[in-house]
Structure 1
């Protein structure tokens, strides 16, 4: 059985305090293990007591750029070799622009910051343009979407979870059949996948130069077409035969 980097990290380290939900480490292993063999530009929002700094420094390639952000000036003293701590607000456009100029573009961004819903949304929208093709944007502690005290609440349209659900629609907007109600979004050209875990959302950037195509293989020949995207009023070929 393969051992994860995180399986024994907490027991073998005597480094600063680290607080995270236990099941997050399985998510990190699944999502980030493929990014260990080459240098990455990594940014994490939220320093707290500094436990993440040595964990990510030892996890990623030694030539990676590792940036950590917090609003607390005291976090500067938690910077260690191989990392940079920057002080500023995760939802401040000027600060994010400065981070992108200095440390971007980014391969991985983890939002473990305030967990306030409108901060999570604003941070995604500010950082997304500065993410590389193939990058991952990870938002932790999305259970605050169900907490009114954090700007959430069940089915509250202002919550990050509801925002992320709408991103699913935008990713699929190539296929709209209701142009006025549900128009095309440019995010369809940028989002490759959105993965929901318990309290964590992972958004993968995958830039597309063209529209999705259908592939038809017939008599040894392959044909590609975009025509299916232009059809309106589609109906299932099984309509009337499957009880619908």
Structure 2
């Protein structure tokens, strides 16, 4: 569909929000009031853009959000009715919290493991109203963590839902 025009420094805008791509291993930029940092390369972004042309998830659960750029990107691209995310990191991302503040049916959880079945169940039941259409796992990048959340969440996907596991080779 090609709704994303990426500039020479990895910058792009979508639905009024600015993003900067940063896939460096160390020293990644923080999200700022000018732009969210997104840790996805251009081919990943194109896959999601293509997916959005024929798939309209009503609910999205994202595992792993780093600086919040992917959360906002998925929200703007797919426009789900409900969206939630978990991040193991304890430090909330202020810009992301400002983004979701006052928005209905948008949730973010810090200090939360993708392996915590109890919390994931609460999120799916309460925040996503038992509707799970798209799961994006960009969290632990480990077999154990990925497997634990997959075994719990995949059976909860609605028919036609999609489960994405990103960056599998990243930690290996």
The answer for the alignment partner of 2:82 in structure 1 is: 65
Please report how far the alpha carbon of residue 71 of structure 1 lies from its aligned counterpart in structure 2 after TM superposition. Answer: 1.5
Equivalents in 2 of 1:7, 1:76: separation in Å?
25
Aligned alpha-carbon RMSD (Å): 2.2
The answer for the alignment partner of 1:93 in structure 2 is: 117
Kindly report which structure 2 residues correspond to 1:54-133, keeping only aligned pairs within 5 A, or say none. Answer: 54-61=72-79, 64-75=81-92, 77=94, 78-79=96-97, 80-81=99-100, 82=103, 83-87=106-110, 88-102=112-126, 103=128, 104-133=130-159
Q: Compute the TM-score of the two structures, normalised by the length of structure 2.
A: 0.71
Kindly report which structure 2 residues correspond to 1:82-231, keeping only aligned pairs within 5 A, or say none. Answer: 82=103, 83-87=106-110, 88-102=112-126, 103=128, 104-144=130-170, 147=172
Q: Compute the TM-score of the two structures, normalised by the length of structure 1.
A: 0.52
Please report how far the alpha carbon of residue 44 of structure 1 lies from its aligned counterpart in structure 2 after TM superposition. Answer: 0.8
Q: Which has the higher contact order (CA 8 A, sep 6+)?
A: 2
Equivalents in 2 of 1:71, 1:17: separation in Å?
17
Among 46, 54, 72, the alignment partner of 2:64 is 46
Highest CA radius of gyration, 1 or 2? Answer: 1
Give runs of ≥4 in structure 1 deviating > 4 Å: none
Please report how far the alpha carbon of residue 76 of structure 1 lies from its aligned counterpart in structure 2 after TM superposition. Answer: 5.9
Equivalents in 1 of 2:159, 2:168: separation in Å?
24
Equivalents in 2 of 1:23, 1:107: separation in Å?
22
Please report how far the alpha carbon of residue 97 of structure 1 lies from its aligned counterpart in structure 2 after TM superposition. Answer: 1.4
In the alignment, structure 2 segments of 5+ residues that lack a partner are: 19-33
Aligned partners of 1:70 and 1:113 also within 8 Å: yes
Report which of the two has the higher share of helix: 1
The alignment covers a number of residue pairs equal to 141
In the alignment, structure 1 segments of 5+ residues that lack a partner are: 148-244
